[in-house]
Amino acid sequence: MAKPTTVADEGRDVLNGRPAVHDKKHPLAGSAAAVDERLGVGKITKFGLRKVFPDHWSFLLGEIALYTFIVCLLTGIFLTIWFKPSMAEVEYDGSYQLMKGLMVSEAFASTLDISFDVRGGLLLRQIHHWSALLFVASVTVHMLRVFFTGAFRKPREANWLIGVGLLTFALLAGFSGYSLPDDLLSGTGLRFADGLIRSIPIVGTWVEFFVFGGEYPGGLIISRLYMVHILLIPGLLLALISAHLALVVYHKHTQYPGPGRTENNVVGYPLFPVYMAKAGGFFFIVFGTMVLFGGLFQINPVWLYGPYDPAKVTAGSQPDWYMGWLEGAVRIWPNWEWHIGSTTWSWAIFLPGVGLMGILFTALGLWPFIEAWITGDKREHHILDRPRNAPTRTALGVAGMTWYGFFWIGGANDIIATRFQLSLNDITVFLRIAVILGPIIAFFVTRRICLSLQRADRERALHGSETGEIVRTPEGNYYEDHVPVPAGELHALTQHIQYPVLVADDGTGPTGVAGTPKVSRFRERLSRWYLGRDIRKPTREELEDAHHHEAQHAIGTGSPEEDVKVPEHSGRH
C-alpha cells in the first residue's frame, strides 16, 4: 500500500516554516492599494490627517469665510437654473399681482419668478444674499486679525497678498451679484458705478461705452455681469482660496504665545479626529445660521423697488454695507472740478471713488514690506504678536478703521438727516472734519492705551499680582502683598521681541566693515517714530531681582520662602 502524499499544513508557510497569514481584506482594499501605489495617496492622507490646528477661537474667522463661500456656491448653482440674464423687455405674467402686465426686463421677471413661483426659491435667494454679506464681513475681520497680530510677516507675505486679492474679488462678487436683478435699487448702484467709470480722466467715456456696450445703461451689462459673477470671479476666488490653503499647510499655522510654543512648532489638535469633528460641526452651525437668517429676515425685496428705470432714482437708497464707505466718500467730498478746453475733470468723483480704493488696496498690499523695512526685521515669525506689543501698528489699524467708519456713516447721511431731524449740510460738514481729525485722535489714543498696557504688563511680570491684602512690617511700614504670576503667563508677558531703533549708516557699518545695509536719515526717523516709544520689557536679571525681593518680603512676614523659577526666554530682547 503506497504511502499517502505529504500534505503541507494549511496553517504554515511552507517556504519559511512560519504560520501563514490569512488576509481577509475588505473588497475595496485592493483598489485602495492600487491607487496608493500609483498616486501615493496614502502618504498624502497620512500627512494631512496628522496636521495640527491651533485651538484659539480667532482662527474660526477664516473658516467662516470658507464656509459662507461654499454656501454661496451651492445656493448660486440653484439660482442659475431659473435666472435669465437678459435686459430684453417682456410683459410680466407671474404670481405677484401688483406688477402683472408691466413691461420689465427678463432678469427682473425671472427674479420675481424665483421669489414667488419656484418652490424654496425665495429662501435660497435670501440665503445666498446673507451668505455673501457674511463672506465679505468674515474676510474683512479675518484680515484685521492677521494685521493686528502680525501674521502677515515673513514668510507669509505672499499669503497676505492673496488675502488682499480675496477681499478685492469678494467686493466685486458682491457688487456684481446684487446688480443682477435689474431692480430700481441695483440700477441706482450701477448708475453710481457708471459715474465712477466716467470720472476717469481722458479715457472715462470710452471705458463706459466699452463696459456697458454703449451709452448707459446699454443692453448688455446684465449678461456681462452675470458671466463675471458666476464664472470669472468664482473661478478666481477658488484659485486664490486653494493657493491660500496650500500656503497655510506649507508654512504651518501661526499661534499665540504660550508655554511650549516656539517658532519651530505648532501646538494644537490634529486634523483627525479632533479638528475634523469640530470643523464639520462648525460648518453646519454656519450653514444653519444662514438658513435661519434667510428664513426669518427679509433682504433685498426687489418687488417693493420695482424694475429699473434710468429716469427714476430710489430715495434713501443704500448699497450693501461693504460699498457704503465708497458712496459716503463721494457724498461728503468737496465739489472739485477742472475745466480744460472742452473736457471736465471731475475730481469730486474720481478722487473719493477711484482714488481711495487704489490707496486702500495699495497700502494693504505693501504694508508687510513697509513694516519690515522700517523695523529692519528679516527673520521668520510663527508666534503672533499681542496687539499691545506693536502699539504703532495697532494705532494705525484703529485709525484706518475710524477713517473707514466715518466714510461709511457718510453713505447714510440722508437717512441720518431724516430720521434724527438734522441738517444734511451740517452732517456733511461734520463728516468732512471728522474724517480727518477722527483717525488722528484714534491713533494717539490707541497708542497711549497700548503703551499703558505694556507698562502694566512689565509691572505685573516684575511684581506679580495684587492680592488685595495689606501687610504691616515689624518696622511699622505697610505694603500690598503680591504673588508671582504663573510661569505660563510670565512667558506671554515677556516672550515678544523688541526691535532696536535703526541708526543712520552710510554703509560702512559701526566697525568700518563695508557691505552692511545702508540706513538713511529718513528711515531712521521712521524707525524711531514706529519703535521708539515701546516700553522696555524686563530682562532676566530684573525678573530675578524682583522675585528675590518678593521672597525676602515673604520671609519678613513669616511666610515660607518659595523658590521662583524664571523662564529662560525672559531675558531675550
Question: Grid coordinates in use for 191?
Answer: 448708475
Prediction pTM value: 0.85
Enumerate residues 6+ apart whose C-beta is below 8 A from 138: 61, 62, 64, 65, 68
Looking at domain 56-253+282-309, its CATH architecture is Up-down Bundle (1.20)
**Widest distance between CA atoms in the chain:** 126
- Output the pLDDT for position 3: 44
Residue 28's pLDDT band, with cuts at 50, 70 and 90, is: low
- Output the pLDDT for position 9: 44
Q: What is the mean pLDDT of residues 138-160?
A: 96
Enumerate residues 6+ apart whose C-beta is below 8 A from 183: 108, 111, 302, 305, 306, 307, 308
Cα–Cα distance for residue pair 318/322, rounded to 1 Å: 11
Residue 477 amino acid letter: N
pLDDT digits (tens, 9 = 90+) for 519-540: 889 999 999 999 988 989 888 8
User: Is there a contact between 320 and 178 (Cβ–Cβ < 8 Å)?
Assistant: yes
- Output the pLDDT for position 10: 45
DSSP state for residue 279 in the 8-state scheme: H
User: Is there a contact between 142 and 131 (Cβ–Cβ < 8 Å)?
Assistant: no
User: Is there a contact between 293 and 126 (Cβ–Cβ < 8 Å)?
Assistant: yes
Q: What is the mean pLDDT of residues 87-91?
A: 93
Enumerate residues 6+ apart whose C-beta is below 8 A from 331: 410, 411, 413, 428
> How buried is residue 322: exposed, middle or buried, by Cβ count under 10 Å (0-12/13-18/19+)?
buried
pLDDT digits (tens, 9 = 90+) for 357-373: 999 999 999 999 999 99
Handedness of CA 52, 54, 60, 62 (dihedral sign): negative
User: Is there a contact between 164 and 362 (Cβ–Cβ < 8 Å)?
Assistant: no
In the chain, where the domains are located: 3-49, 56-253+282-309, 323-460, 461-572
Q: Which residue has better confidence, 416 or 568?
A: 416
- Output the pLDDT for position 142: 96
- Output the pLDDT for position 79: 95
Position of cell 504688563? 457
- Output the pLDDT for position 369: 96
pLDDT over 60 (residue 63): yes
Question: Grid coordinates in use for 99?
Answer: 406688477
- Output the pLDDT for position 416: 92
DSSP notation for 237-254: HHHHHHHHHHHHHHH---
Share of the chain above pLDDT 70, in %: 85
DSSP notation for 193-237: HHHHHHTSTTTHHHHHHHHHTSSTTTTTHHHHHHHIIIIIHHHHH
pLDDT over 50 (residue 15): no
Q: Which residue has better confidence, 481 or 30?
A: 481
- Output the pLDDT for position 29: 64
Determine which helix (DSSP H) or strand (DSSP E) holds 121, and give its type and residue range: helix 121-149
Cα–Cα distance for residue pair 197/208, rounded to 1 Å: 6
pLDDT over 90 (residue 42): no
Cα–Cα distance for residue pair 29/35, rounded to 1 Å: 10
Cα–Cα distance for residue pair 353/327, rounded to 1 Å: 7
Q: Which residue has better confidence, 570 or 495?
A: 495
DSSP state for residue 88 in the 8-state scheme: -
pLDDT digits (tens, 9 = 90+) for 538-563: 888 887 777 666 666 555 544 444 44
- Across 326-416, where does the E strand assignment appear? 337-340, 343-346
- Output the pLDDT for position 549: 66
Q: What is the mean pLDDT of residues 36-40?
A: 68
Enumerate residues 6+ apart whose C-beta is below 8 A from 419: none
Q: What is the mean pLDDT of residues 310-330?
A: 85
User: Is there a contact between 363 and 397 (Cβ–Cβ < 8 Å)?
Assistant: no
- Output the pLDDT for position 493: 85
Cα–Cα distance for residue pair 484/467, rounded to 1 Å: 10
Residue 572's pLDDT band, with cuts at 50, 70 and 90, is: very low
- Output the pLDDT for position 1: 42
Cα–Cα distance for residue pair 494/543, rounded to 1 Å: 10
pLDDT over 80 (residue 319): yes
Q: Which of 85, 314, 109, 84 is nearest to 101 (CA)?
A: 109
- Grouping H, G, I as helix, E, B as strand and the rest as coil, residue 159 is helix
Residue 23's pLDDT band, with cuts at 50, 70 and 90, is: low
Neighbours of 429 (CB within 10 A): 12
- Output the pLDDT for position 558: 44
Q: What is the mean pLDDT of residues 235-244?
A: 96
pLDDT digits (tens, 9 = 90+) for 374-420: 999 999 999 999 999 999 999 999 999 999 999 999 999 999 999 99
Enumerate residues 6+ apart whose C-beta is below 8 A from 371: 153, 377, 393, 530
